[in-house]
């Protein structure tokens, strides 16, 4: 389904579980309406998408959308968001209080990420976001897994506040290739994140 969504340019959505057939039918209709709305927005704007007042969705995948430059999502029920391989995405803003997983890996032009009210976020994958220079997730105190592999220009002033916020919960952190964070020592990282069981700090020295 995800591959089909990427190929057709239609979002892959999952409606929240419903206790009755009538509610399930209503959720299906809401998801269909969302798909139509997203297609309409994409046709009109080509690059900018703003999704607010969404139906009760649990999962949304826009993986591989090649024309999406700016995405703003606000959804009270959204738990999983996949925007990986959106190759022209430059700005991502998410306000989702139940969001537990965000995958934005491979978004090579993504420069700014703001995650507001994401207090239950557990997994954040920003691997190979080579243009990422600004990242804020002020409520992500439960973050367990953070993948920043290949985020070459991410500076310490963007990463350190997140480590202060989520350090007590972090178990896995990949900073391999984060050349811009070379001034942030491994000792400091371990001090901020005392419960790490997996830390990759390799490849942070510039080759030129």
The per-residue pLDDT for 117 is 93
Report domain extents, the chain. Answer: 2-200
Residue by residue, DSSP assigns 71-120 as EEEE-SS--EEE-TT-TT--EEEEE-TT--EEE-TT-TT--EEEEES-TT
The mean pLDDT of 107-121, rounded to a whole number, is 97
pLDDT of 11 over the 90 cut: no
Question: Would you say 142 and 117 are in contact if contact means Cβ atoms under 8 Å apart?
Answer: no
Residue 25 has pLDDT above 70, yes or no: no
Mean pLDDT value across the chain: 84
pLDDT for 121 beyond 80 = yes
Q: How many CA atoms lie within 13 A of 91 on its CB side?
A: 8
Classify the phi-psi angles of 46: left when phi > 0, otherwise alpha if psi is within -120 to 50, otherwise beta.
left
**pLDDT grade for 31, boundaries at 50, 70 and 90:** low
pLDDT of residue 203: 83
What value does the mean pLDDT take over residues 40-67? 72
More confident call, 42 vs 199 = 199
Confidence at residue 118, expressed as pLDDT on a 0 to 100 scale: 97
pLDDT tens digits, 69-87: 999 999 899 999 999 999 9
Give the lowest-confidence range in 40-49, 52-61, 184-193. Answer: 40-49
């Amino acid at each position: 389904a995800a591959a089909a969504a990427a190929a057709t340019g239609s979002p892959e959505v999952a409606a929240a579980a419903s206790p009755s057939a009538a509610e399930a039918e209503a959720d299906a209709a809401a998801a269909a309406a969302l798909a139509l709305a997203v297609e309409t927005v994409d046709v009109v704007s080509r690059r900018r998408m703003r999704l607010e007042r969404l139906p009760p969705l649990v999962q949304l995948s826009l993986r591989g959308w090649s024309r999406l430059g700016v995405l703003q999502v606000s959804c009270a029920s959204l738990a999983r968001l996949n925007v990986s391989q959106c190759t022209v995405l430059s700005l991502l803003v998410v306000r989702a209080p139940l969001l537990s997983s965000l995958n934005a890996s491979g978004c090579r032009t993504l420069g700014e990420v703001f995650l507001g009210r994401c207090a239950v976020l557990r997994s954040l994958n920003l691997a190979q976001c080579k243009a990422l220079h600004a990242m804020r997730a002020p409520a992500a105190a439960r973050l367990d897994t953070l993948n920043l592999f290949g985020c070459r220009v991410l500076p310490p002033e963007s990463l350190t506040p997140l480590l202060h916020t989520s350090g007590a919960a972090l178990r896995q952190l990949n900073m391999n290739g984060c050349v811009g964070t070379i001034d942030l020592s491994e000792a400091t990282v371990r001090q901020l994140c005392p419960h790490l069981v997996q830390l990759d700090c390799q490849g942070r020295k510039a080759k030129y």
